[in-house]
Amino acid sequence: MAVVLIADDNPNNLYLLESILKGYGFATTNACNGQEAFDTAKKSPPDLIIADILMPVMDGFELCRRWKADPKLQQIPFIFYTATYTDPRDEQFALSLGADRYVIKPQKPDVLIGIVREVLEKAGGEKPPQPEKTFEEEMELLKTYNEVLFRKLQKKVGDLENEIARCSIIERDLRRNEKFLNNIFEQIPDMIFVKDAADLRFVGFNKAGEELLGISREKLIGKSDYDFFPEEQAEFFREKDQEVLSEKRLRDIPEERILTHQMGERILHTKKIPILDESGEPRYLLGISEDITEQKAHEEQINLANHKLELMTEVTYQDIQNKITATLGYLDLEQQEKNQKSRQFYIEKEKDILESIHNLIKKTKDYQQIGVNTSRWILPKEVIGDQFVAISQKKNIILECELNELEIRTDPLIERVFLNLLMNSIQHGEKTTRITFRYQITADGLVLICEDDGIGIPMPLKEQIFHRVVGGRGTFGLFFAREFLNLSGMKIIENGTPGTGARFEIFVPEGMYRESR
């Protein structure tokens, strides 16, 4: 029974094609995109593949190119089955990639099965291996591929331009309903703006745009991006505008950041569209911006949760499980041992392991709290002082905190970072008598420095001290510090001189710190 691999991102298409093939005695396997199909075929090559073209991750053209370049797959017949790429030039390009047939959807079941059987019969003989393409051939192939994709995009843009032109005619004919149309414009929740193509000054704004920017439209109309945004940001907007107008096509900008007057920094997903006049030249630029700040924050929270879950899984199944296994081993030895002194030795070992499990759980609990609290302005000087008082009793160590009224906007859990740095100096510095906190302002932001006069950290260990030691002992605190800071947008390194003391440098980007007066 011949096996056919079906690659299509549409579940309905997959089900229909699978039903037809199985009804005629074929076995099938399915894939939702080109990459999945390629990986599936590498593991278990089919007798034939039927692939759509328009798919996510990897489209059908790229799948066919890789398929025919792979020694293991290139002899397996490849059939394109598409409803979107119907231009003869698309078929010509597909066949140049090595496809055996190019079939336009839909086809009657008996016709499609006839094509499948015909291709399988022709594939019976051994074909010579595909010659490796020269650099010039690869470049020509890439050029053709881009032309195919651009042609498809051009059609979409052409459809959009036609729709815009149609709307312009309707607007002319329905001026009596202008008030109604303006009301719709005002009710759209995304920011909509219009710029004059000649000088890129604003000529229109809706209510959502006013609210997002925190500026009335009276002040916006007639102004440019340079009047409201930093020069670098305004240059970015101007560059994208000019690309849209010169190419006369829609430009999708998945993510851009703007600094608003009332809401601070926001993240927008913007589409910019050229509005052409009757001669086909750009008259206006229309922009539609969706505020995706909360969505991005939600995605970051999900990524953070997954990141923490991975660590919790490692701790549970690696660290704690290993410790429980060791405890059970000592319990078994204890039960077999008759000598009371030896039994006491095993009991002490069991206590040590249980205590380490307890400490590990406490430390991972801190880790789980990352990202739970809302960021706010923290005075490191106060936090460090409180932590030092709590752990430095009966220790002849001096704390110098030269942070003045420096504030950092972050999760309050940063207190655990400072605690771990203090404990590192006290517990591992051996001869530490002084711990100093200070900061420097650089061109790239702020550097918060924690240094001591202990024994320092040997060169080979400067990176290893931030690694999680299996078992939860040793440097879990510094591992936590780096994880917390990285997830908060900051970085930490150890930059001290071995033998003269440790020096930890925390890099804080602009916008996350301020010097209160």
Question: How many Å is the Cα radius of gyration of the chain?
Answer: 33
- Domain with 421 in it: what CATH number? 3.30.565.10
- Percent residues over pLDDT 90 in the chain: 38
Q: Indicate whether 150 belongs to any domain.
A: no
pLDDT for residue 130 = 56
Number of domains in the chain: 4
Q: Indicate whether 48 belongs to any domain.
A: yes
Distance CA 457, CA 430 (A): 11
Q: Indicate whether 61 belongs to any domain.
A: yes
Q: Give yes or no: residues 391 and 506 share one domain.
A: yes
Q: Give yes or no: residues 71 and 89 share one domain.
A: yes
Q: Give yes or no: residues 311 and 277 share one domain.
A: no
Distance CA 34, CA 55 (A): 7
Q: Give yes or no: residues 280 and 322 share one domain.
A: no
Q: Give yes or no: residues 239 and 254 share one domain.
A: yes
Q: Indicate whether 483 belongs to any domain.
A: yes
> Which has more pLDDT, 336 or 451?
451
Residue ending a domain, among 73, 98, 132, is 132
Of the given ranges (324-328, 370-374, 399-403), which has the lowest mean pLDDT?
370-374
pLDDT at 75 over 70: yes
Q: Give yes or no: residues 340 and 395 share one domain.
A: no
Residue ending a domain, among 132, 160, 195, is 132
- Domain with 194 in it: what CATH number? 3.30.450.20
Q: Give yes or no: residues 351 and 384 share one domain.
A: no
- Domain with 79 in it: what CATH number? 3.40.50.2300
Q: Indicate whether 126 belongs to any domain.
A: yes
Residue ending a domain, among 257, 291, 325, is 291
What residues make up the domain containing 26? Answer: 3-132
Q: Give yes or no: residues 110 and 234 share one domain.
A: no
Distance CA 421, CA 184 (A): 57
Q: Indicate whether 426 belongs to any domain.
A: yes
Interval 407-431: pLDDT, tens? 999 888 888 889 889 988 988 888 8
Q: Indicate whether 310 belongs to any domain.
A: yes
Interval 151-201: pLDDT, tens? 666 776 777 778 888 867 766 666 666 676 677 777 888 988 999 999 999
Environment class of residue 491 by beta-carbon count within 10 Å: exposed (0-12), middle (13-18) or buried (19+)?
Answer: middle
Query: Between the CA of residue 272 and those of 202, 247, 292, 410, what are the distances in Å?
Result: 13, 12, 16, 35
On whether the pTM is more than 0.75, the answer is no
> Which has more pLDDT, 28 or 345?
28
Q: Indicate whether 364 belongs to any domain.
A: yes
pLDDT, the chain, mean: 83
Mean per-residue pLDDT for 324-338? 79
Mean per-residue pLDDT for 303-330? 63
Q: Give yes or no: residues 308 and 185 share one domain.
A: no
- The pair of structure tokens assigned to 12 is 């309905």
Of the given ranges (21-25, 287-291, 340-344, 510-514), which has the lowest mean pLDDT?
340-344
Environment class of residue 185 by beta-carbon count within 10 Å: exposed (0-12), middle (13-18) or buried (19+)?
Answer: middle
